[in-house]
Amino acid sequence: GEDVEQSLFLSVREGDSSVINCTYTDSSSTYLYWYKQEPGAGLQLLTYIFSNMDMKQDQRLTVLLNKKDKHLSLRIADTQTGDSAIYFCAERNSWGKLQFGAGTQVVVTP
Protein backbone atom coordinates (compact mmCIF):
# COMPACT_ATOMS: atom_id res chain seq x y z
CA GLY A 1 0.00 0.00 0.00
CA GLU A 2 2.37 2.73 -1.12
CA ASP A 3 -0.30 5.43 -1.02
CA VAL A 4 -1.45 4.54 2.46
CA GLU A 5 1.12 4.26 5.24
CA GLN A 6 0.86 2.72 8.67
CA SER A 7 3.26 1.83 11.41
CA LEU A 8 3.90 -1.90 11.28
CA PHE A 9 3.70 -2.91 14.92
CA LEU A 10 2.05 -1.86 18.16
CA SER A 11 2.31 -3.52 21.56
CA VAL A 12 -0.22 -2.59 24.21
CA ARG A 13 -1.11 -3.84 27.65
CA GLU A 14 -4.53 -5.28 28.28
CA GLY A 15 -6.88 -2.59 29.57
CA ASP A 16 -4.90 0.28 28.04
CA SER A 17 -5.94 2.26 24.98
CA SER A 18 -4.43 1.50 21.58
CA VAL A 19 -3.93 4.14 18.94
CA ILE A 20 -3.16 3.09 15.38
CA ASN A 21 -2.14 5.79 12.93
CA CYS A 22 -2.42 6.01 9.18
CA THR A 23 -1.58 8.58 6.53
CA TYR A 24 -3.02 8.63 3.04
CA THR A 25 -2.27 10.60 -0.09
CA ASP A 26 -5.43 10.82 -2.16
CA SER A 27 -7.16 14.04 -1.13
CA SER A 28 -10.22 13.04 -3.16
CA SER A 29 -10.84 9.98 -0.99
CA THR A 30 -14.42 10.17 0.19
CA TYR A 31 -14.36 7.37 2.72
CA LEU A 32 -11.63 5.96 4.94
CA TYR A 33 -11.81 2.58 6.59
CA TRP A 34 -10.43 0.39 9.30
CA TYR A 35 -10.43 -3.36 8.81
CA LYS A 36 -9.31 -6.05 11.25
CA GLN A 37 -7.72 -9.31 10.16
CA GLU A 38 -7.05 -12.17 12.55
CA PRO A 39 -4.58 -14.92 11.59
CA GLY A 40 -5.83 -16.99 8.67
CA ALA A 41 -9.11 -15.11 8.58
CA GLY A 42 -10.84 -12.63 6.33
CA LEU A 43 -11.09 -8.88 6.66
CA GLN A 44 -13.64 -7.59 9.12
CA LEU A 45 -14.99 -4.10 8.52
CA LEU A 46 -14.61 -2.32 11.85
CA THR A 47 -15.66 1.19 11.01
CA TYR A 48 -15.40 3.88 8.38
CA ILE A 49 -15.62 7.63 8.25
CA PHE A 50 -16.83 10.03 5.62
CA SER A 51 -14.26 12.62 4.66
CA ASN A 52 -16.36 15.57 5.84
CA MET A 53 -16.33 14.24 9.41
CA ASP A 54 -13.64 14.79 12.00
CA MET A 55 -14.55 12.04 14.40
CA LYS A 56 -16.69 8.95 14.65
CA GLN A 57 -17.25 6.89 17.77
CA ASP A 58 -18.61 3.37 17.87
CA GLN A 59 -18.51 1.68 21.27
CA ARG A 60 -14.80 1.12 22.10
CA LEU A 61 -13.65 2.48 18.74
CA THR A 62 -12.94 6.13 17.99
CA VAL A 63 -11.83 7.28 14.56
CA LEU A 64 -10.20 10.67 14.14
CA LEU A 65 -9.67 12.24 10.74
CA ASN A 66 -7.43 15.21 10.04
CA LYS A 67 -8.17 15.90 6.40
CA LYS A 68 -5.66 18.74 6.17
CA ASP A 69 -2.81 16.45 7.18
CA LYS A 70 -4.40 13.37 5.53
CA HIS A 71 -4.07 11.56 8.85
CA LEU A 72 -6.43 8.93 10.18
CA SER A 73 -6.29 7.22 13.54
CA LEU A 74 -8.13 4.44 15.29
CA ARG A 75 -8.33 4.39 19.05
CA ILE A 76 -9.40 1.21 20.81
CA ALA A 77 -10.41 1.80 24.40
CA ASP A 78 -9.87 -0.86 27.08
CA THR A 79 -7.90 -3.10 24.72
CA GLN A 80 -8.55 -6.82 25.17
CA THR A 81 -6.57 -9.89 24.13
CA GLY A 82 -9.20 -10.51 21.46
CA ASP A 83 -8.14 -7.24 19.85
CA SER A 84 -4.80 -8.78 18.87
CA ALA A 85 -4.82 -8.76 15.07
CA ILE A 86 -3.60 -6.86 12.03
CA TYR A 87 -5.43 -3.60 11.45
CA PHE A 88 -5.60 -2.21 7.94
CA CYS A 89 -6.35 1.37 7.07
CA ALA A 90 -7.85 1.87 3.60
CA GLU A 91 -8.98 4.72 1.39
CA ARG A 92 -11.66 4.46 -1.24
CA ASN A 93 -11.46 5.86 -4.74
CA SER A 94 -14.39 7.11 -6.76
CA TRP A 95 -15.12 3.67 -8.20
CA GLY A 96 -15.16 2.00 -4.83
CA LYS A 97 -11.75 0.36 -5.07
CA LEU A 98 -9.99 0.20 -1.70
CA GLN A 99 -6.31 1.03 -1.38
CA PHE A 100 -4.95 -0.58 1.76
CA GLY A 101 -2.02 0.25 3.97
CA ALA A 102 0.49 -2.43 4.88
CA GLY A 103 -1.31 -3.16 8.13
CA THR A 104 -0.40 -2.66 11.79
CA GLN A 105 0.18 -5.76 13.87
CA VAL A 106 -1.33 -5.13 17.30
CA VAL A 107 -0.18 -7.39 20.11
CA VAL A 108 -2.03 -7.18 23.41
CA THR A 109 -0.07 -8.36 26.43
CA PRO A 110 -1.57 -9.34 29.78
Partner 1 sequence: AAGVIQSPRHLIKEKRETATLKCYPIPRHDTVYWYQQGPGQDPQFLISFYEKMQSDKGSIPDRFSAQQFSDYHSELNMSSLELGDSALYFCASSPLGTGGNEQYFGPGTRLTVT
Residues that bind partner 1 (CB under 8 A): 1, 31, 33, 35, 41-45, 48, 88, 92-93, 95-103
Closer of 50 and 78 to partner 1 (Cβ): 50
Considering the complex, what minimum distance in angstroms separates the CB of residue 45 from partner 1? 6
Gap between the Cα atoms of 70 and 81, Å rounded? 30
Q: Of the two residues 50 and 80, which places its CB atom closer to partner 1 in the complex?
A: 50
64 vs 102 by CB, closer to partner 1: 102
